[in-house]
Structure 1
Amino acid sequence: MKITRITVYQLDMPLTEPYWLSGGRLKFETLDSTFIRIDTDAGITGWGEGCPWGHTYLPAHGPGIRAGVQTLAPFLIGEDPRSLDHINRLMDIQLPGHPYVKSPIDMACWDILGQSAGLPLWQLMGGSEATPVLVNSSISTGTPEDMLALIEKAAAKGYTVHSAKVGGTDIGMDIDRIEAISTGLPKGHKVTFDVNRAWQPAVAIEVLNSTKARDWVEQPCETLDQCAHVAARVSNPIMLDECMHNFSDHLDAWKRGACEGVKVKPNRVGGLTKARQIRDFGVSVGWQMHIEDLGGSALADTAAIHLAASTPDANRLASWLCHYHLSVDPVPNQGARNTNGSATPPSLPGLGVSPDLDILGAPVATYETRA
């Protein structure tokens, strides 16, 4: 089987309402998503999606994906997409770094492999069944009362796990947010306080040692060094996210005892192949993990849910779904959707999701075998 064509689509996906994080420091209103279609000489087509969460959240942006695909495509045409490790090594040789560019290509190759084998991705990734995965609500920064009201609305939709955005410039307000939310959660619910790297180490230590709450705290500071410094001085379990770009970062975090868990996001680390490697390492060292993507439609969400569903229960926390924040749905009625607080991956071969071409519109680029 050989790749004969790579087609690129671009879609602006407005959020249903503006989204604030990092204590209100960062605001997002529209996501720039890139959809990749890979065709083969066997008549099998695979789909992938790359959608950075804006351009200020991480060193990634939508136009960068499309520029990177233009660089990589000539080296991928004629290769067997089922040879996932080879495809990833080839991409790393031809374009060092830029993992977010490679993720949608890798995703599409997994889709082709699953269809070729007649198996869903969750089974190829080691799962025994299409396990429902808890869905994590995302609570935008606000007053303690506003955030608790958002949690109540999420609870009414079946969510039992919540990610509350904190990390403002007002230290006292952050302490109030954490205490109010931790004590005001509905019975049986859990929360992670996501700082999105907004605190300096001294602020993180001051805030966390001033609260009674011992819930998860995510990415308190900018760098791994800073987060490791904080982790050694507070009692809260620490979840690392934005500073974890590759396998070496995860290995370093484990060696330093910098966290008790991580977020594994395929688009950030280079795709499902590398995300699975990190997931397996996390299982081996006893981490608990949120497995989800950076952003995107239900296509990108579904790929991450396949990996999450194949993760052992003891190591799997909840997964966030970006698509419920969007006002456009390019894969209507398909994929892993929130049903009373959980999402189940499809059992169709491969990814089990295919975009509506009428919604995607005309491709922005096509690369194919020359006659």
Structure 2
Amino acid sequence: MKITKISLYDLELPLHQPYLLSRGRTFTKFDSTFVKIETDEGITGWGEVCPWGSTYLPAFAGGVRAALAEIAPQLLGHDPREVEKMNRLMDRVLSGHVYAKAGIDYALWDISGKAAGQPIHALLGGAETKEVPMISSIHVDSPENMAADVERWRNLGYRRHSIKVGESVDGDIARIRHLTEFRQSDEIFDYDANGGWNPWEAIQVMNAVRDTDAWFEQPCLTYEECLTVRQQTSQALSLDECITGVREVVRAISDRSCDVVNVKLARVGGITRARWIRDICLEFGIPMMLMDMAGTVTNDSVVAHFASTLPENRCIGTWSCQDMVSVDSAPGQGARNVNGRLTVPEGPGLGHEPDEDILGTPFLVVK
């Protein structure tokens, strides 16, 4: 089997309502890029890359498209089923920019699954579950409004919530105390600063609420800052934005700097590289949250396949973007939110095909 054609599409994803993160970051839409890889045997694979704007991570839509335009011509004529070899080829063609390479990696796994007549999760070792618990995302607001938002997601079946903090020390202490009292016994509340605190702010907030059962995610921007916070606080800690690959995971385990790892598949380069992280975390008993950056049901389906391969006691849950955006790339197909759980597709490969009428005309075709 050989790659004969690669097409790239861009798709704007307006949000149903503005989304607020720490440090005053506001988002009203996302900008997604779709990858379609065609082969000489008539099998087609799909991938999607959708950074969370340009201020969340060192990734942005323009960078995705420039990187893919550089890489795509060099993949023609190669066997897409050789995913490890193809990832090494992409690294030789372009250093870094692993977030852009994730879209191609997803499409390679889609083709591999279709060629084998198996869903992606079967190629990854087998699914432990047919549905993955979902995590809501509660953006920064007043404590009362955030509690109301939790209640809204709770009524949709969610029992795990990512509570955004990182606005101000006093304000965040008030949010955490109010929402901790609001938490029900079977719920998980993760207070996520998305790197919005400096170490002094994080230490103040976390020590002020150490009498609660609150746990925290990515308090500061860098690994070194998070490690400083870890050494001066007592709560459980998850690392997210500073986990960019397997080396960072190995370092975190060695330093005992976290209790949970949040793996964003696109941020670490796709399924192929995320698989290494999964296996290391399982070996060392580190629970994981698994998600992509942003996007549509196409990205959610990738995550559903991957997350389903974790034992239940090692998967805290996944976050889905499809309910936040007003565009559906594959209506009625793929992984879907059913009562706060993400269904795992069972068809070959990804288990769905994006609607090309929705995607429109590709902005680049190489063949």
Q: TM (normalized to structure 2)?
A: 0.98
Q: How many residues align?
A: 366
1:130 Cα shift?
Answer: 4.5
Give, in whole Å, the separation in 1 of the partners of 2:345 and 2:276.
22
Match in the other structure for 1:21: 21
Give, in whole Å, the separation in 2 of the partners of 1:367 and 1:38.
10
Residue 173, structure 1, aligned to residue 171, structure 2: yes
1:82 Cα shift?
Answer: 0.5
Q: CA contact under 8 A between 2:147 and 2:179: conserved in structure 1?
A: yes
Which segments of 5 or more consecutive residues in structure 2 lack a partner in the other structure?
A: none
Match in the other structure for 1:198: 196
Q: CA contact under 8 A between 1:200 and 1:221: conserved in structure 2?
A: yes
Q: CA contact under 8 A between 2:199 and 2:226: conserved in structure 1?
A: yes
Deviation string 1:268-300 (CA, Å, 9 cap, x unpaired) is: 011111011111111111111001100000100
Deviation string 1:143-174 (CA, Å, 9 cap, x unpaired) is: 111100000011011101000100113x1110
Question: SS at 1:78's partner residue?
Answer: coil
Q: What pairs up with 1:108-119 in 2 under 5 angstroms? A: 108-119=107-118
Match in the other structure for 2:333: 334
Deviation string 1:51-104 (CA, Å, 9 cap, x unpaired) is: 000011011111111111111112100111100100000111111100111000
Q: What pairs up with 1:268-279 in 2 under 5 angstroms? A: 268-279=267-278
1:29 Cα shift?
Answer: 0.7
Which segments of 5 or more consecutive residues in structure 1 lack a partner in the other structure?
A: none
AA at the equivalent of 1:179: R
Runs of 4+ in 1 over 6 A off after TM superposition: none
Q: CA contact under 8 A between 2:260 and 2:288: conserved in structure 1?
A: yes
Give, in whole Å, the separation in 2 of the partners of 1:245 and 1:77.
28
Give, in whole Å, the separation in 2 of the partners of 1:325 and 1:126.
31
Residue 282, structure 1, aligned to residue 281, structure 2: yes
Q: CA contact under 8 A between 2:160 and 2:188: conserved in structure 1?
A: yes
Change (3 A) 1:347 1:129: farther
AA at the equivalent of 1:11: L
Give, in whole Å, the separation in 2 of the partners of 1:150 and 1:185.
12
Give, in whole Å, the separation in 2 of the partners of 1:296 and 1:15.
11
Change (3 A) 1:47 1:331: same
Question: SS at 1:318's partner residue?
Answer: strand
Give, in whole Å, the separation in 1 of the partners of 2:37 and 2:4.
8
Give, in whole Å, the separation in 2 of the partners of 1:265 and 1:197.
15
Q: What pairs up with 1:121-270 in 2 under 5 angstroms? A: 121-169=120-168, 171-211=169-209, 212-270=211-269
Q: What pairs up with 1:81-100 in 2 under 5 angstroms? A: 81-100=80-99
Q: CA contact under 8 A between 1:195 and 1:221: conserved in structure 2?
A: yes
Q: CA contact under 8 A between 1:137 and 1:161: conserved in structure 2?
A: yes
Task: Give % identity.
Answer: 44
Give, in whole Å, the separation in 1 of the partners of 2:105 and 2:331.
23
Give, in whole Å, the separation in 1 of the partners of 2:359 and 2:67.
20
Give, in whole Å, the separation in 2 of the partners of 1:182 and 1:46.
44
Give, in whole Å, the separation in 2 of the partners of 1:274 and 1:329.
27
Match in the other structure for 2:3: 3
Give, in whole Å, the separation in 1 of the partners of 2:127 and 2:336.
20
Give, in whole Å, the separation in 1 of the partners of 2:82 and 2:175.
48
RMSD: 1.0
Match in the other structure for 1:67: 66
Change (3 A) 1:254 1:129: closer
Give, in whole Å, the separation in 2 of the partners of 1:232 and 1:336.
39
Q: CA contact under 8 A between 2:127 and 2:305: conserved in structure 1?
A: no
AA at the equivalent of 1:47: W
Q: TM (normalized to structure 1)?
A: 0.97
AA at the equivalent of 1:356: D
Change (3 A) 1:173 1:128: closer
Change (3 A) 1:60 1:153: same
Q: CA contact under 8 A between 1:49 and 1:300: conserved in structure 2?
A: yes
Give, in whole Å, the separation in 1 of the partners of 2:261 and 2:106.
21
1:18 Cα shift?
Answer: 0.5
Q: CA contact under 8 A between 1:330 and 1:360: conserved in structure 2?
A: yes
AA at the equivalent of 2:207: N
Q: CA contact under 8 A between 1:130 and 1:347: conserved in structure 2?
A: no
AA at the equivalent of 1:214: D
Give, in whole Å, the separation in 1 of the partners of 2:55 and 2:275.
26
1:131 Cα shift?
Answer: 2.7
Give, in whole Å, the separation in 2 of the partners of 1:14 and 1:251.
37
1:128 Cα shift?
Answer: 4.0
Give, in whole Å, the separation in 1 of the partners of 2:60 and 2:106.
18
Question: SS at 1:322's partner residue?
Answer: coil
Question: SS at 2:261's partner residue?
Answer: strand
1:213 Cα shift?
Answer: 2.3
Give, in whole Å, the separation in 2 of the partners of 1:51 and 1:86.
24
Match in the other structure for 1:294: 293
Question: SS at 1:283's partner residue?
Answer: helix
